[in-house]
Structures are given as structure tokens and as C-alpha cells.
Amino acid sequence: MAGNTAPEPAFFDVAIVGAGMAGASLAFELAPHLRVLLLEQETQAGYHTTGRSAALFSEIYGNAAIRALSRASREFLQSPAAGFCDQPLLTPRGSLFFAAEQQLDRLHALHDEVGPRSPRLQWLAHPALLARLPALRADSVAAGVFEPDACDIDVHALHQGYLRGARRHGAQICCDAMLTAAEQTAGRWSLQTRAGNFSAGLLVNAAGPWADGVAGIAGAAALGLTPLRRTAMVFEDKTEWASEHWPLAVDIDEQFYFKPDASRLLASPADETPSPACDAQADEYDIALLIDRLETTTLLSPRRISGRWAGLRTFAPDRTPVLGFDAARPGLFWLAGQGGYGIQTAPALAQLAASQILRRSIPPAIADQGLDAQTLSPGRFASA
Ligand SMILES: Cc1cc2nc3c(=O)[nH]c(=O)nc-3n(C[C@H](O)[C@H](O)[C@H](O)COP(=O)(O)OP(=O)(O)OC[C@H]3O[C@@H](n4cnc5c(N)ncnc54)[C@H](O)[C@@H]3O)c2cc1C
């Protein structure tokens, strides 16, 4: 009978799955050009890894591709467009990699590798290291590499700026809208979500720890992305001499790190425990390990722990993000595997993803850093 047919689902040029930093930043870049739908399974965008980071921007952290993406992101973070947010996104912090005597070869290797691109990098011999960070135990460290230009990132302001900007350009942001089924016919996706059905020309997988699962929903092969749990805590220190001006300090083998966080300290045992995609929780063992490492290598002595949490940093097998069209499933685009760097690299990753989706050439600021599309392409796993 006429009149009983279900209404056609709303059509979007692009449906992005996941409203963490990856999905939000891409929605921001695409919304001025395309009809964009951003789907988030939680009632609140940013609930998972994006809301649980240490909020650091460092150009010497991660592998060569990550460092190039970070350098290419600095301009956006330092000078976002007018109206993007009301406060600075970056605040000077500095980062300090330190080493014990037996780790010095690794510290030298880092210095040699990143030095040429970071002329302001400083090698700190023992006295200079202790002067920079008096919390280190003199007998457990030998030297350090100091990056003066590392910054704290206002993650909330960045994420909200992206979401606000996307919305301003007409993007529809649907929370409580888990994607449960996706079928592609004649170049169009029919999408079922907990918030209703939609139709889209392109499906973007920005689902963080769930990215391999979302690929399965879309009929594509998993890429072997692994969520690794990382724990953090905020604490007050018994010694009460912690300074807001200390840099983020991390040992060269990334066994733990700490940095000031308002009037307290934030620290992590830098754990990487494989985990299923889930609402990750801090494990007491990892907190105990962290306290032990802090007390062994520093003069700090945690008194009151005022917050503890964990999040999932999701890595591809080569620890480089995955960005590009699926090799075998036309209409599916990957923006995943950002690991522990998805905040500081978000601007460059989103600009690069948007350039591919809009069929434009690679943005010069990214090409200038020596990055090419193949390095990040999901097809690199197929050819391997
Ligand atoms: C302790 C810790 C410290 C870190 N420190 C830093 C740092 O200092 N600097 C830095 O740059 N990075 C850091 N990171 C890493 C950074 O937080 C991540 O790389 C980044 O947040 C990843 O963003 P994302 O959008 O890919 O993932 P997420 O924020 O996890 O977003 C993915 C979203 O997809 C949604 N989703 C999944 N499946 C579906 C579905 N079927 N339907 C709808 N929605 C779905 C999820 O609900 C989720 O909100 C840290 C991470 C941790 C845990």
C-alpha cells in the first residue's frame, strides 16, 4: 500500500566512524567541502583514548614518520585559525630524555638522529641535567637530551575546536550512534547505527581501538592493529618541592615518565599491555610499578594519588599510522593506528586524509617534511 514505505535514510558524502581526535579533526577539514556525518558510539565524543592522554607535543618522540607529522602539525597548533578556540593550544613545557650510564648509547643515538632537525636540542651532561631537573637522583642518571620546544597541548580545546568548526560548516555529529552494520551497493553505503540508518558515499574508519572491528563490519580485512593499554596517575608529592617549570621527563628506554600537572604531578609507567578494545581501566600492579620506578630514579615520593586512569594506544605492526583508501574495499578509508601520538599529529593527519579524499595534492607543509602517502597507506601491509 502506498504511504507505508519507510523514508529514505539521509545521505552524506562521508560518514566518519569515531568522534575522538581523529574523526573530529577529519570532520573539521572535510565539512567545508562535503556533507559529513560523524558517528560516535558513546554519549560523549572524546570519551576513550582522546580524553586520556598526557597531552604532550614533542617533535623528537616516536619514529621518523611520527616526527615528520608532528613537525607538520606545529603551525596549526601554534596558530589555529581565528575563531577556532579562545585560548592557546600549546603552552611551553620542554621534554627531557634522561639516561643512566649503561643507557648512554641509546641517548647518543637519539641525539644523533633527531639533532639535525632540531637545532635547539641540548645535550645535558650530569651537572646540567640535575640543574634542569633536581628531582632526579644524582646516582641513577648520567646525561640527558633536552627539547626546549616541547609543549603541553590543551587537548580539550583542540578537540572541541574541531567539533565546533565541523558543526559550523554543517557536519552532523551523532553520539550514542554505534555503527552496527554497513553494506555497500552500487557505490553507496547503507549504514545501521543505534541512532538510526544513514546512507553515505564514503565510509571513514576512525574508530581508534575498534578500527579492525569496524573494518570487519564494512567487509574489509583487519590490518593487525593492536590496542595497548597505558596507565597514568596524578599525585601530590610528599617533598612538596615539585616545580611547575619542570619539563616532562622520560627515561630513554621509556620505562616511565612524569611532568607537572597544575600544582600536582602526572606520571605513567609507560606500560604497553595488549588489550581488547574496551573501556580501559588502570591496573593496581601498573600503579605500584610506577611508584617503584619513581622512587628508584627520582627523589619524588607520591603521597596522595588524586586520579588514575588508563587508555588504549592503538598501533599498526610498524608503529606508523594508517591513512588512506582500503586496498581491496573501495569506499572505505582508514584513519587509525595513531598509537601514542594521535593528539600531536592530528592536524597533519587530518589535512593529509582530507587531501586524499578530496583528490588534491599532498599539502606542501607535509610534503616538505619528507612524508609520502605510501608510508602511511593501508596497502603497505598487503604488499608486505
Ligand atoms: C596514557 C596516554 C597518554 C597519551 N599521551 C599522548 C600525548 O602526550 N600526545 C599525543 O599526541 N598522544 C598521546 N596519547 C595517544 C592519543 O591519546 C591517541 O593517539 C588519540 O587519542 C587517538 O585518537 P582516536 O580518535 O584515534 O581514538 P579514540 O579517541 O579512541 O576515538 C575513537 C572513537 O571511535 C568510537 N567508536 C569505535 N567504534 C565505533 C562504532 N562502531 N561506532 C561508532 N563509534 C565508534 C569510540 O567510541 C571512540 O570514541 C596518549 C594515550 C594514552 C592512553
Mean pLDDT by 10 residues, the chain (384 residues): 72 98 99 98 98 98 97 97 95 98 98 95 98 96 98 98 98 98 96 98 98 98 98 89 91 97 94 98 97 95 93 98 95 98 98 98 94 94 66
Q: Supply the DSSP string of 309-360, one letter for each residue.
A: EEEEEEE-TTSS-EEEE-SSSTTEEEEE--TT-TTTTHHHHHHHHHHHHTT-
In this prediction, residue 242 carries a pLDDT of 76
Contact 65, 320 (CB under 8 A): yes
Residue of minimum CA distance from atom 50 in ligand 1? 53
Residue spans of the domains in the chain: they are 10-55+155-224+318-383, 95-148+226-315
Pocket test for ligand 1, best of 26, 37, 48 (most atoms within 8 A of CB): 48
**Assigned CATH topology for domain 95-148+226-315:** D-Amino Acid Oxidase; Chain A, domain 2 (3.30.9)
Contact 69, 339 (CB under 8 A): no
- Ligand 1: nearest atom to the Cα of 209: 30
Contact 182, 311 (CB under 8 A): no
CA 344–ligand 1 middle distance (angstroms): 12
For the stretch 146-176, pLDDT in tens is 999 999 999 999 999 999 999 999 999 999 9
Q: Which residue has the cell 555529529?
A: 173
Domain 10-55+155-224+318-383 has CATH 3.50.50.60: yes
For the whole model, what pTM was predicted? Answer: 0.97
Q: From 164, 189, 177, select the one nearest 80 (Cα to Cα).
A: 164
CA 241–ligand 1 middle distance (angstroms): 33
- Ligand 1: nearest atom to the Cα of 177: 43
CA 178–ligand 1 middle distance (angstroms): 16
Residue of minimum CA distance from atom 22 in ligand 1? 342
In this prediction, residue 252 carries a pLDDT of 98
In this prediction, residue 1 carries a pLDDT of 45
For the stretch 287-312, pLDDT in tens is 999 999 999 999 998 989 999 999 99
Taking the C-alpha atoms of residue 158 and residue 174, their distance in angstroms, rounded to an integer, is: 19
Contact 322, 334 (CB under 8 A): yes
Taking the C-alpha atoms of residue 48 and residue 334, their distance in angstroms, rounded to an integer, is: 18
